Structure 1
Amino acid sequence: MIDAARDPVPQVATAGEYVVALRDVRRRSGLTYRDISRRASAAGHWLPPSTLATMLGRNTLPRERTVVALLAACGTSAADIERWVGLRRDIEARLSEPARWQEESTPPDTASSDADSPHRPSGDLRRVTRPARRRLRMGALALVGALTVGALLPRGEGMTTTSATACPLVLRQGMYGPCVQDLQERLVARGLRVPVDGWFGPDTTSRVIAFQAMAGLSVSGTVDRPFLDALSGDPVLPVPWSENRVSTHLRKTFAPDAAEAVRLARCVSGLDPLRVEVTADGSRRWGLFQFSDMELSRRGVDRRTALDPGWNIAAARDVWSRTGDFSHWRCLPSP
């Protein structure tokens, strides 16, 4: 895999050229879309494979946060990421110049004078029209943003009054706003890495489910008052294993085929012991080797146990010993 951090920041002038340069970073990194998504998540960003594919499949200027997530996942240095972001802002500024020039150079309406028009109020309002329009636009955008956040929340549910921000009694996947961001910050404070972006996406759902399993709560993937009470209570989470500790334990346990064991665990879970994936049929897969609900039932273990990296690796070693290989798992690279 090529180290993207050594690649120079490109000299491009258009949004299309900027996206082409980002595609080149991804191509030379040697990472699949799924690899990038998991690396981005580990770095505290949210970048699903579908979002990445959409971003790299268009010729429009991508969002700043998705650019940062992609570059960070590909190993770009912080200094070069800053340069990439600066370049993006320069392109964005140039793209907005024609519209701004057109607005500021539009001559006033001289078809009728103040005195001649019976519909024009007295006084020269043209002197304040442009700044007034700008203030109105800013206010309208703020209002639309507030209404958009409100529209994403379930209707008819009661609101909490424990903070300055009124939050729904239940938070679930698909919501967006400061209430979700507060939840994410509290999860991070408990050692559950998740992007703090205000979006209740799959990564946040995964962390919520993991905490519910560890705390002995109903594993629903939604956040309610018992969940928040447990989140504020005594610690229930073990000290998380670092990626290096996970890799070391895998190599020791699977000594005859250590490299493949590490590769597989990285592919299915990103070497994240607390990873929980919700499948299309609503079932879940748990931990480093993503054992299914059915497999946990057959082995007679609960979900908390499944999230223990020691147990998860030992269970995978048992499967590997019986089959002689890793054919039990299927993890194909993303396009």
Structure 2
Amino acid sequence: MTTAPPAPVDTDEVAFVAGLRRLKAWSGLSYRQLERRAAQAGHTLPYSTAATMLGRDRLPRAELVAAFVAACGLRADQAEAWLDARMTIAYGGQRAEEEATPTPRIRSLRRPRRALAAVVALAAVLLGGTLAGGALTDDVEVDDTRTSLQVPRS
């Protein structure tokens, strides 16, 4: 890696992914090596995901780009340029005044939704069991019901 890494292209998705392919070629690393280096940098980048990402012409998610450029060995300022280019493409060629919500915050919002869904499901099961058991019915209604199973009163 004696030459400078390729610069990111922020014109369109196809050119951006082509730039990521050039970056992989520049790094000289295999997909398995990229997976290991991403893990060492604190990211998750399965080799199959990296291969799929480079095999398509769609804009990859920001966390994949961050993991990929870190695995390729880019410095923080170079990695930031790739993420900025991705954001420019994602916003249709215009830089947003405010930065997008960081990925860890997005993940943290998903957890409460799952927990809320689990609580609602549990409440529905408990309420259904209570209703099926007759705990919320009036005893008067049960006494007034005439069935063949009713015990005669003395």
Q: TM-score by structure 2 length? A: 0.59
Once residues 28 and 94 of structure 1 are traced to their aligned partners in structure 2, the CA distance between those partners, rounded to angstroms, is: 28
The one-character-per-residue Cα deviations of 1:108-162 (angstroms, maximum 9, x if unpaired) are: xxxxxxxxxxxxxxxxxxxxxxxxxxxxxxxxxx78x8149957xxx98xxxxxx
Task: After TM superposition, give the deviation of residue 7 of structure 1 in Å.
Answer: 1.6
Task: Determine the structure 2 residue equivalent to 1:146.
Answer: 113
Task: Determine the structure 2 residue equivalent to 1:21.
Answer: 19
- Per the alignment, in what secondary structure is the counterpart of residue 24 of structure 2? helix
Question: Which of the pair has the greater relative contact order for Cα pairs under 8 Å at 6+ separation?
Answer: 2
Q: Does 1:33 align with 2:56?
A: no
- Per the alignment, in what secondary structure is the counterpart of residue 92 of structure 2? helix
- Per the alignment, in what secondary structure is the counterpart of residue 94 of structure 1? coil
Structure with the larger helix share: 2
Task: After TM superposition, give the deviation of residue 24 of structure 1 in Å.
Answer: 0.9
Once residues 13 and 25 of structure 1 are traced to their aligned partners in structure 2, the CA distance between those partners, rounded to angstroms, is: 17
- Structure-2 change in CA distance of 1:3 and 1:94 (3 Å): farther
- Structure-2 change in CA distance of 1:26 and 1:149 (3 Å): farther
Once residues 12 and 56 of structure 1 are traced to their aligned partners in structure 2, the CA distance between those partners, rounded to angstroms, is: 16
Contact 1:10 1:21 (C-alpha < 8 Å) held by counterparts: yes
- Structure-2 change in CA distance of 1:148 and 1:38 (3 Å): farther
Quick one: which amino acid aligns to residue 88 of structure 2?
D
The one-character-per-residue Cα deviations of 1:274-324 (angstroms, maximum 9, x if unpaired) are: xxxxxxxxxxxxxxxxxxxxxxxxxxxxxxxxxxxxxxxxxxxxxxxxxxx
Gaps of 5+ in 1: 97-141, 157-335
Q: Does 1:42 align with 2:40?
A: yes
- Structure-2 change in CA distance of 1:147 and 1:18 (3 Å): same
State the number of aligned residues.
Answer: 106
Contact 2:38 2:70 (C-alpha < 8 Å) held by counterparts: yes
- Hey, which bits of structure 1, 4+ residues long, moved more than 6 A? none
Task: Determine the structure 2 residue equivalent to 1:80.
Answer: 78
Higher alpha-carbon Rg: 2
Once residues 47 and 115 of structure 2 are traced to their aligned partners in structure 1, the CA distance between those partners, rounded to angstroms, is: 25
Q: Does 1:52 align with 2:19?
A: no
The one-character-per-residue Cα deviations of 1:151-178 (angstroms, maximum 9, x if unpaired) are: 7xxx98xxxxxxxxxxxxxxxxxxxxxx
Task: After TM superposition, give the deviation of residue 11 of structure 1 in Å.
Answer: 3.2
- Structure-2 change in CA distance of 1:54 and 1:8 (3 Å): closer
Task: Determine the structure 2 residue equivalent to 1:287.
Answer: none
Task: Determine the structure 2 residue equivalent to 1:70.
Answer: 68
The one-character-per-residue Cα deviations of 1:259-283 (angstroms, maximum 9, x if unpaired) are: xxxxxxxxxxxxxxxxxxxxxxxxx
- Per the alignment, in what secondary structure is the counterpart of residue 75 of structure 1? coil
Q: Does 1:61 align with 2:28?
A: no
Once residues 148 and 58 of structure 1 are traced to their aligned partners in structure 2, the CA distance between those partners, rounded to angstroms, is: 34
Quick one: which amino acid aligns to residue 146 of structure 1?
R
- Structure-2 change in CA distance of 1:3 and 1:70 (3 Å): farther
Gaps of 5+ in 2: 95-108, 123-154
- Structure-2 change in CA distance of 1:22 and 1:35 (3 Å): same
Quick one: which amino acid aligns to residue 27 of structure 1?
A
RMSD of the alignment, in Å? 3.0
Once residues 32 and 48 of structure 1 are traced to their aligned partners in structure 2, the CA distance between those partners, rounded to angstroms, is: 12
Quick one: which amino acid aligns to residue 83 of structure 1?
A
